[in-house]
Chains A and B, each alone.
Chain A
Amino acid sequence: MVPFRFFTSFTLQEATGLRAATIPQLVALLKKVPEGCLYYHTHYFLLTHHYLTPEPTNDFAYWISEVLKEEALGEQLASLDIMAHATLEGLRETLVSTIEAYLARTPTARMKFASEGEEFFFVKSLHVIMPTRYQASTLAECVDALSQIGIHSLYFHIFEARLRIGHPTNDFALWFEQWGLKELAERVATLDPYGQTLEALRSVLISLVRQELARHEIAHAEP
């Protein structure tokens, strides 16, 4: 089997100087900011707050709920199904249409202003990707590596590989597919990683691979 090579990725944050004080300003900027901004504001909080259960929401939802106090729209944005989007452009369309539809039926939301310093500041993510010292040629090695890799490596293969790098699904699912483990690949591909902490996600992955390993051991033990 072709070994899994574990990579990791570190994020640098680049300021754009673009800021919104109202929801109409936010949606106008959402239409034109680079994809790196969309990725940053819908994903970076997963890394910075990965120890909190439940995690705070994505940056758009947090700002609209906590700063502008437009909780109904905040809830809608917090519950966006990011997994249903194959590209950041698709995610952009959903964000824009959700906010515009809300503004159309809630005209008073246009009047909400963030005070000085509490505006929404658009940030873009830059990524430095590098190989780690971990690789796996068997399911057992995969369990070992999964338990040892840093949180950034896990984050890279699950989130960044799909939406920022453009892989069709998360890397683990792709690897298992290549190893011919179709059932495991499908279970990993359909995991919703957005509703859990990164450590919880690590445990789920390890558990799925262990189950597969146990199944293989039983199959080999049978005469």
Chain B
Amino acid sequence: MPSLDDYAPVVGRSTIEELRDVVKPLSGRRVVMVNSTRLGGGVAEILQRMVPLLNELGLRVRWDVIEGSEPFFVVTKKFHNALHGKTEAITSEMFDVFLEVGRRNAERMDLDADIVFLHDPQPIALVEQRGRHRESRWIWRCHIDVSRPNQLVWNFLTPFILQFDAAVYSASAFAQQLAMRQLLIAPSIDPLSDKNRELSPEEVAAVLRRLDVPQDRPIITQISRFDYLKDPLGVIEAFRRVRRSVKCRLVLAGGTASDDPEGEEVLSRVREQAKGNPEIHLLLLPPDSHVEINALQRASTVVVQKSLKEGFGLTVSEALWKARPVVASAVGGIPLQVKHGYSGLLVHSVEGAAHAIKQLLHYPEYATRLGENGREHVRHNFLLTRHLREYVLMFLTVGSAQEIFHLA
């Protein structure tokens, strides 16, 4: 696992020095992070890197995961979709299942810490325990797009949210008008992880051979879980439109997270649509396929993220970090990563996606410029070191209503 100093060549020595300086007042503070899964999905991936580095900075950080039954994860997946605005039948029994699992976890979990940091709705009911830990500060980190939430689910969650000292969202569009401090902290990618580190052209070629994806023509790629909200069917349709005039291949690669029971159903619909087309490569990858994803992104001529809803869409930053030109939907946190015409192209429809992909295939110099700008944008705004700094700043200031804080 890399240490902080290993990031200096990527982000600059002064960034690391500033981080070490700003964290000093937090030395020895105890933090407990809680989410719903250790593997699969962006949240677990960030915590795997974030927790050791926060510990290296002198905090004492533990990471715990709530234990839930299969019905609980079915319920939380429905909540997740409903919060994203998808129509879901929500019943009162679902709320009971949710609360019951929250209670059982509260009994077994050690929440004694200076800062209790809960991620997403799954563990949110644990905040009921804050009365037992009066000195603690509690933070709720919402990684999903709740800009147009199902009101039934949102109204159920609101009394929990209001018990926290701060709520954190990835983009300003997600915040509601609540009488509490609501911070905006974008997630990040780790430039030294297997998913993002440099790979030689030989390594890339070897991975693509192993995955049976020929590099004989331009490759268009979407990396994402097989999930309706990522619109893999829309990507296939956009590819078909592009393919009418440009010879190319489509790679749809991803997996399913352990807290996502819907993935299989989406995958079978995608298989049906792609059936009989040798130019569409469906790759169901296990959660630890980091080098494979890295190689696929590097081998791509265009990377697509045509999500209908997106918490943030870190795959966009991953592709930009590899200086790949990106075509992505203007949803969730994607417009933060892609400034249209500067660091990629933003689209709003299947037709728009097809048109933008064709533009990038036809004008490689333009595509290269967008990719290079994108890499710099990620270097300054979406790498792990910026994310670490903002968590540290939040820990320093949580519980205060001031706007300007002076550290000695």
A binds B: yes
Query: Is A101 interfacial (CB-CB < 8 Å)?
Result: no
Interface stretch, picked from B242-250, B260-268, B356-364, B399-407, is: B399-407
B181 contacts A132, C-beta separation under 8 Å: no
**B-side interface residues, number (CB < 8 Å):** 48
A132 to B148, CA, bound (A): 42
**A-side interface residues, number (CB < 8 Å):** 43
Q: Which residues in window 366-408 of B have CB below 8 A to A?
A: 373, 376-377, 379-381, 389-390, 393-394, 396-397, 402-408
CB distance from B53 to the nearest CB of A (A): 17
Query: Is A14 interfacial (CB-CB < 8 Å)?
Result: yes
Query: Is B91 interfacial (CB-CB < 8 Å)?
Result: no
Query: Is B172 interfacial (CB-CB < 8 Å)?
Result: yes
CB distance from B188 to the nearest CB of A (A): 14
Chain B residues positioned under 8 Å from A148 (CB to CB): 14
Which residue from B22, B342, B380, B405 sits with its C-beta under 8 Å from A56?
B342
The 8 closest A-B pairs by CB, nearest first: A15-B175, A17-B177, A121-B172, A130-B407, A150-B14, A13-B184, A15-B182, A51-B376
Chain A residues positioned under 8 Å from B163 (CB to CB): none
Query: Is A128 interfacial (CB-CB < 8 Å)?
Result: yes
Chain B residues positioned under 8 Å from A48 (CB to CB): 377, 380-381
Which residue from B184, B339, B380, B404 sits with its C-beta under 8 Å from A14?
B184
Given contact pairs A10-B18, A15-B174, A127-B403, a sample of 20 additional A-B residue pairs in the complex whose CB atoms are under 8 Å apart: A10-B22, A10-B390, A12-B393, A13-B172, A13-B184, A15-B182, A15-B184, A17-B182, A48-B377, A52-B342, A118-B330, A121-B175, A126-B403, A126-B405, A127-B405, A128-B22, A129-B404, A130-B21, A132-B21, A152-B18
A132 to B407, CA, bound (A): 11
CB distance from B345 to the nearest CB of A (A): 13
Closest to B332 in A: A117
- Total A-B pairs, Cβ < 8 A: 113
B173 contacts A119, C-beta separation under 8 Å: yes
Chain B residues positioned under 8 Å from A130 (CB to CB): 21-22, 406-408
Contacts A17-B176, A18-B177 given; indicate if A52 touches B373 (C-beta within 8 A): yes
Q: Which residues in window 314-363 of B have CB below 8 A to A?
A: 330-332, 335, 339-340, 342
As a 0/1 sequence over residues 1 to 24 of chain A, the CB contacts with chain B under 8 angstroms (1 = contact) are 000000010101111111100000
Closest to B171 in A: A121
Query: Is B183 interfacial (CB-CB < 8 Å)?
Result: yes
Contacts A15-B169, A56-B342, A133-B21 given; indicate if A126 touches B176 (C-beta within 8 A): no
As a 0/1 sequence over residues 163 to 198 of chain B, the CB contacts with chain A under 8 angstroms (1 = contact) are 000000100111111100111110000000000000
